[in-house]
């Protein structure tokens, strides 16, 4: 959220027609690297992040990126 310091970034994945699933989190201020251990093979996987403040307040979703596997 814009008015609060970011504590972490939550990473989400979905495929078209399915609800997003939270895959994990990356701490703010650390080098960001995240690996999806179980993508949907043969499908276009979409990913986005939400920033989360220490209070638990979440931002809206980032722009998504699609990855075909």
Q: What would the pLDDT profile of 24-44 be if each residue is shown by its tens digit?
A: 999 888 777 788 888 888 889
What is the rounded CA–CA span in Å between residue 19 and residue 46? 11
Work out the widest C-alpha separation in the chain, in whole angstroms: 40
pTM, two decimal places: 0.85
Top pLDDT among 3 and 35 is at 35
Q: Average the pLDDT over 51-69 and give the result.
A: 91
> Which residue shows structure tokens 């990356």?
26
User: How buried is residue 10: exposed, middle or buried, by Cβ count under 10 Å (0-12/13-18/19+)?
Assistant: middle
Contact 10, 52 (CB under 8 A): yes
Top pLDDT among 34 and 66 is at 66
Q: Average the pLDDT over 43-63 and give the result.
A: 93
Average pLDDT along the chain: 89
């Amino acid at each position: 959220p814009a008015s609060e310091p970011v504590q972490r970034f939550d990473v989400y994945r979905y495929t078209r027609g399915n609800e997003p699933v939270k895959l994990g989190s990356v701490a703010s201020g650390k080098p960001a690297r995240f690996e999806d251990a179980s993508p949907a093979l043969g499908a276009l996987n979409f990913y986005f992040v939400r920033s989360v403040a220490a209070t638990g307040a979440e931002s809206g979703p980032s722009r998504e990126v699609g990855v075909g596997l």
